[in-house]
Structure 1
């Protein structure tokens, strides 16, 4: 069987869609549903599976070179895919100061899965899309390596994430997802049916993401697709930042629904949804699907009991 045949990993597709009882929504006549992408596969959960599937088909078993920060879920998913499917992986990591330090748990997991880690200074990392910089990185990588961009977001990733939207056709009026590099939102919106809309909650500061989503849709589908919007109020100070207020909100949500919540993406999206509901942003009768893109580190995802 070819290395890029992901079917042998037996993904749970379509991912489950779970209704949850939450009075903050119910008292406004709203229905909250959780789209449990975290249950697709224990090593390639959520949008990581969606983004990588078509890219790994394109790589066809060749080595894969990709990019990420010191705590990148994308690097971990790519390394796991390499281990499970038997192809070499190289992770270009932002921050050459990390090279002489003990690996953090995230990077240690990548290394244990066989990923070769290459630490570069931040200026080089920012220039990673420059042809000369990329050529130099490829020269040091495996011959013939296939390049997947930071966060896994490219045209193939957006097309893979369109299947998420198609799975939700007719099941929800609005679909919310946390956004890092924009690939999941670009594909999700494209896959939704007319009358459905996608809400993106950026986890990074800055107003760049709208342009990224538009560019990804142009590359993947030839132009704009679907009804989507961004609400940039809930990044909580930027990537990998979790304030005491967000931590308190997340713990409360976990207690209400007996479900462990990932902090850097999922918690910010859920906080945004609860705030929008309290602001009256959704008319009564709206069915809202929240995409759970991953579980906290070290937690085996389980079905919500409430």
Structure 2
């Protein structure tokens, strides 16, 4: 068994009061679960998703294969873990960045990862059995980790964050992209608690199906699709402005792909009076700032 304590994760992650000067904020009580503070590289939900998969890695595994885009927090975290453990890593990357690598991809190259650029059509096969069989043949004795780290083991690590929250709460808010984070949270909730997912990509119905595949008919959750800001990784000017202002006035940083959309959504929902008076809310900062890194950083 691989002991991940060698990475020195900061657990439990901090839970801090959040009192922004936003309309409607005084009607509720809010706290932020700072999973972005777990580890400087393997931060947030990426640590929790990978924890049990890596700890229980079979000794026969000779390499790890996974999927993501050019700014993937998941590939970045997994690439660092594999480099630290001396385990070969194959990243199946959506799009061809050769010669124009993002900061995240440059980190992977520095960590001696093997980058395999594929087009959109090939990338869409990442869940198909025939394509996964081809990868198993191409990389013998590999472990294939789904996009975003959304394997069943991830739910155990994610549900643990609920046990770390030592203050009573009614609602927890988190971003939704591959579904496992919200599903893991729901697994850990008490029947009286509720989870609100903020869809960060266009996918009404699709995102619900991703979450539901991990659950046993739990009903204490929903996803709002009003704040994807045009689609995954879309960064309209108003969202960039919000994130920039947030980062100069708050005690932690956000980025426009995941956490920025969550806090932008929260501001709008508070203004609309979407929460009952006195509601106790926890906002999960899932970490990962790859989407905010400019070239050269």
Give yes or no for TM over 0.5. yes
Aligned to 1:152: 149
Give the deviation of 1:240 after TM superposition.
Answer: 1.1
Distance 1:34 1:233, change over 3 A: same
Distance in 2, Cα, partners of 1:247 & 1:138: 41
Aligned to 1:292: 285
Distance in 2, Cα, partners of 1:201 & 1:116: 33
Aligned to 1:124: 122
How many aligned positions are there? Answer: 290
**Match for residue 212 of structure 2 among 214, 219, 226:** 214
**CA-to-aligned-CA distance 1:113-148 (integer Å, 9 cap, x gap):** 12111122221211122222112222222x211111
Aligned to 1:19: 17
Distance in 2, Cα, partners of 1:288 & 1:104: 35
Distance in 2, Cα, partners of 1:175 & 1:60: 34
RMSD (Å), alpha carbons: 2.1
Task: Work out whether 1:263 is the aligned partner of 2:256.
Answer: yes
Give the deviation of 1:86 after TM superposition.
Answer: 2.4
The answer as to whether partners of 2:259 and 2:286 remain within 8 angstroms in 1 is yes
Distance in 2, Cα, partners of 1:24 & 1:264: 22
Q: Which consecutive unaligned segments of at least 5 residues does structure 2 have? A: none
Aligned to 1:252: 245
**Match for residue 205 of structure 1 among 202, 207, 211:** 202
Counting helix residues as a fraction of each chain, which structure ranks higher?
1
- Give the TM-score normalised by structure 2: 0.91
**Match for residue 9 of structure 1 among 4, 7, 15:** 7
The answer as to whether partners of 1:67 and 1:149 remain within 8 angstroms in 2 is yes
Give the deviation of 1:94 after TM superposition.
Answer: 1.5
The answer as to whether partners of 1:165 and 1:189 remain within 8 angstroms in 2 is no
The range that moved more, 108-117 or 207-216, is 108-117
Q: Secondary structure at the match of 2:210?
A: helix
Distance in 2, Cα, partners of 1:102 & 1:236: 26
Give the deviation of 1:159 after TM superposition.
Answer: 2.2
Aligned to 1:242: 235
Aligned to 2:77: 77
- What are the equivalent positions in structure 2 for 1:164-183 lying under 5 Å apart? 164-168=161-165, 170-183=167-180
**CA-to-aligned-CA distance 1:217-257 (integer Å, 9 cap, x gap):** 2xxxxx13361110011011111111111122222322332
Give the deviation of 1:17 after TM superposition.
Answer: 0.2
Distance 1:27 1:130, change over 3 A: closer
- What are the equivalent positions in structure 2 for 1:223-234 lying under 5 Å apart? 223-225=216-218, 227-234=220-227
**Match for residue 274 of structure 1 among 260, 267, 290:** 267
- What are the equivalent positions in structure 2 for 1:89-108 lying under 5 Å apart? 89-95=89-95, 97-98=96-97, 100-108=98-106
The range that moved more, 27-36 or 175-184, is 27-36
The answer as to whether partners of 2:208 and 2:223 remain within 8 angstroms in 1 is yes
Aligned to 1:66: 66
Q: Secondary structure at the match of 1:181?
A: coil
Distance in 1, Cα, partners of 2:68 & 2:7: 24
Distance 1:291 1:123, change over 3 A: same
